[in-house]
Structure 1
């Protein structure tokens, strides 16, 4: 990757902190990291939403490449003045309510309120862009289509949905198709442990690993930041197990009936869809976004050599496409 296309986050200004977040009468803390110059009036900050749910922000740090050293440039690919990363509640460096909360606590509404609090707390609510990956894209889409604070939502300029399904039913159907393409012994291992309720076994983990190498990340070994995000789920699986369930392929948690399809036409900002040709989020999972956001303006880029984390698998092209979208009219 050439230096003209990418800027190392190591040489950019960085700010970290925690914001108080009060929800249902209790106050928590949301960890955030800002890369770039948030105080600059020349650009529009990009807020990123990580996946999982529960995988933390680390694997998205490559998006720091989007920060332009000169946001006021007339180039159509100037990127952004700052990228904001944060750990959603129950994840990474943010507060961990853990077993003190009923499953009904962990809802998209909770995380939309947390995002609203972050935007206000960092002073970016009047003008910002959103990039959500996987579950983060689901959350960003729901926020953009249905959030009750219309004044806050009016500050949203552009939306990027990266490997985000429009419904969990479509996601499950796509995964089922991909699992059938795995070696027969791997399929049998997955089936047996899911039926026996032993998805925490080493054998099951290794079988899932075969799927992940094809449809989650095709870079070997997995990038360090991606591994760290996975570790966060292992350190506290509360959010992932409650909302998704113990299996990647059979959604048994509170998101099992989630669908944004009826609300997609309410998304009223220019939107960029991104996905990998080998993605566990298959094209039929994303098609409803493309069909439903036509009036606001929608583009869709597919990465031929990527699966679920194209920003790590085809980093240079990914950054170039996103930077052009952010910088365009």
Structure 2
């Protein structure tokens, strides 16, 4: 894999970890900054895209958002975490790494963060790939309930019980969640690939604060997420990317595509939420072909 370097950037009294693959060259290709999901995952599950550095001679930059992975911090009060925190962090990372001009790729929550960036200060960002991200959280939750209805009845009951009790660790609930993840999130049953497992192991408490106890409910701070009107102001060229079997269903993604002016959309057949795990070549090629048109 291409030359890489890593380090830490001071932010909010803590340290944000970054990892860079490839070198920035005078070949006209701008760096691609990767924004991971959650909020609470870390960059590891997206490392498939690091191979773009060798394949396309483009610098690829990852970082763990504060509170996640190698940017973990001690326990904080709930009011510490907010969308504004990670929005500010993005600009601090860009400045520290000298990323005056770049592209961005956002996975799930990372794509939601891109929506915030594009409606706040998009200077120097040439394009954005929004990978399976909801423009409205209620649509996401409604579609999750619909997908759950296709599970075997005993699994549906297990998830309903877990939601009622708040206990998602029972064998029945874990079996149901594993089936949902296989069908719509990861594409395989546990144990998941090592780099995905590393992302889950590094899950920060911010997921509970922002989302909640599972993918199926959102009592956290993102519960009122609705960027439909704000996204109509986006001027950065955008590509939506998602899978036909994705928990970010075509209905969910189309709602955002319809709001973002000129947004393109690639729907990957037989792909789940983390499409790059089973379709790495297609995903990398799709991203490169889009961003290379906006250098």
TM-score band (shorter)?
A: over 0.9
SS in 2 for 1:93: helix
Among 231, 241, 253, the residue aligned to 1:286? 253
1:250 maps onto 2:217 in alignment = yes
Task: Indicate the residue corresponding to 2:228 in structure 1.
Answer: 261
The Cα shift of 1:217 comes to: 1.5
Aligned to 1:120: 95
TM-score calculated relative to the size of structure 1: 0.85
Question: Is the 1:80–1:326 contact (alpha carbons within 8 Å) kept by the matching residues of 2?
Answer: no
Q: Distance between the aligned counterparts of 1:196 and 1:216, measured in 2?
A: 24
2:115 paired residue number? 141
Asked if 1:83 corresponds to 2:60, the answer is yes
Matched-pair contact (CA < 8 Å) for 1:276–1:307? yes
Residue 212 of structure 2 corresponds to residue 226 of structure 1: no
Q: CA deviation at 1:38?
A: 3.1
Among candidates 13, 27, 38, match of residue 52 of structure 1: 38
How many residues align? The count is 293
Q: For residue 75 of structure 1, what is the aligned residue in structure 2?
A: none
Measured after TM superposition, the shift of residue 41 of structure 1 is 6.1
**Superimposed CA distance per residue, residues 163-216 of structure 1 (whole angstroms, 9 cap, x where no aligned partner):** 111111010011010001100000111111221221233432222111101000
The aligned runs of 1:172-191 (5 Å cut-off) are 172-191=141-160
Please tell me whether the aligned partners of residues 29 and 292 of structure 2 are also in contact (alpha carbons under 8 angstroms).
Answer: no
Deviation of 1:80 after TM superposition, in Å, equals: 5.7
Pairing 1:20–2:10 present? yes
1:46, 1:80 within 8 Å by CA — same for their partners in 2? no
Verify the 8 A CA contact 1:170 1:285 in the aligned structure 2.
yes
8 Å Cα contact 1:42-1:81 kept in structure 2 = no
Instruction: Structure 2: state its 5+ residue gaps.
Output: none
Q: Deviations over 1:28-53 (max 9, x none)?
A: 10000000103656320000110111
Aligned twin of 1:42: 28
Q: Distance in 2 between matches of 1:202 and 1:90?
A: 29
**1:239-282 deviation digits (Å, cap 9, x = unpaired):** 11111100210111111111111111111011111001011011
1:320, distance to aligned residue in structure 2 (A): 1.1
Aligned equivalent of 1:62, options 31, 40, 48: 48
Shift of 1:121: 0.4
Write the distance in 2 (CA, Å) between the matches of 1:135 and 1:249.
15
Aligned-partner Cα distance in 1 for 2:172–2:255: 36
Per-residue Cα deviation, 1:54-94 (whole angstroms, up to 9, x for no partner): 1100000101122256xxxxxxxxx4621110101111101
Distance 1:306 1:21 in 2: 36
CA–CA distance in structure 2, aligned partners of residues 283 and 222 of structure 1: 25
Per the alignment, do residues 111 and 80 of structure 1 end up closer, same or farther by CA in structure 2, a change over 3 Å counting?
farther
Aligned-residue CA RMSD in angstroms? Answer: 1.6
Distance in 2 between residues matched to 1:248 and 1:156, nearest whole Å = 30
